[in-house]
Amino acid sequence: MEITLTDIEKEAYKDSPVHRLDGRVKLLAMILIIIFTVSLPRVHEDNLMRLAFVELYLIALMALAKLNPVYVMVRFLAVLPFGLGIIVIQPFVRQPFFGSFTEYPIDLPLGLTVTYEGLAFGITLLAKFIVCISAIILLSSTTKMHDIVGAARQLGIPKEIALLLTMMVRYLFLFWSVLKRIRTAQKCRLFNIWNKKVRHRWILEQIGYTISSIFVMAYEQGERTYVSMLCRGCGQNGNVPMRSKDLKTSDVLFSVTTLAILVASYLLFIDLS
Q: Supply φ then ψ for residue 115, to 5 degrees.
A: -110, 150
How far is residue 139's CA from residue 26's CA, in Å, rounded to a whole number? 6
Domain identity same for 30 and 95? yes
pTM score of the predicted model: 0.76
Residue 237 lies in a domain: no
Cα distances (angstroms) measured from residue 152 to each of 131, 162, 164, 243:
21, 8, 12, 12
Domain identity same for 16 and 125? yes
Q: What is the pLDDT of residue 133?
A: 92
Domain identity same for 133 and 217? no
Total number of domains in the chain: 2
Domain identity same for 70 and 28? yes
Domain identity same for 20 and 105? yes
Q: Domain range for residue 179?
A: 159-231
Domain identity same for 201 and 261? no
Half-sphere exposure of 31 (CA within 13 A, CB side): 10
What is the pLDDT averaged over residues 185-213?
A: 80
- pLDDT exceeding 90 applies to what percent of the chain? 21
Residue 112 lies in a domain: yes
Domain identity same for 130 and 177? no
Domain identity same for 113 and 37? yes
Between 133 and 224, where is the model more confident?
Answer: 133
Residues in CB range of 9: below 8 A, 6 or more apart: 145, 173
Lowest mean pLDDT segment, chosen from 30-44, 63-77, 155-169: 155-169
Between 124 and 100, where is the model more confident?
Answer: 124
Q: What is the pLDDT of residue 2?
A: 55
Q: What is the pLDDT of residue 272?
A: 45
Domain identity same for 252 and 198? no
DSSP symbol at 248: P
Domain identity same for 49 and 170? no
Q: What is the pLDDT of residue 134?
A: 93
Cα dihedral 198, 200, 205, 208 sign: positive
3-class SS of residue 145: helix
Residue 149 lies in a domain: no
Nearest to 160 by CA among 239, 226, 228: 239
How far is residue 153's CA from residue 115's CA, in Å, rounded to a whole number? 46
Residue 151 lies in a domain: no
Residue 93 lies in a domain: yes
Q: What is the pLDDT of residue 244?
A: 63
What is the pLDDT averaged over residues 235-240?
A: 56
Nearest to 33 by CA among 164, 129, 125: 129
Q: Is the pLDDT of residue 40 over 60?
A: yes
Domain identity same for 71 and 167? no
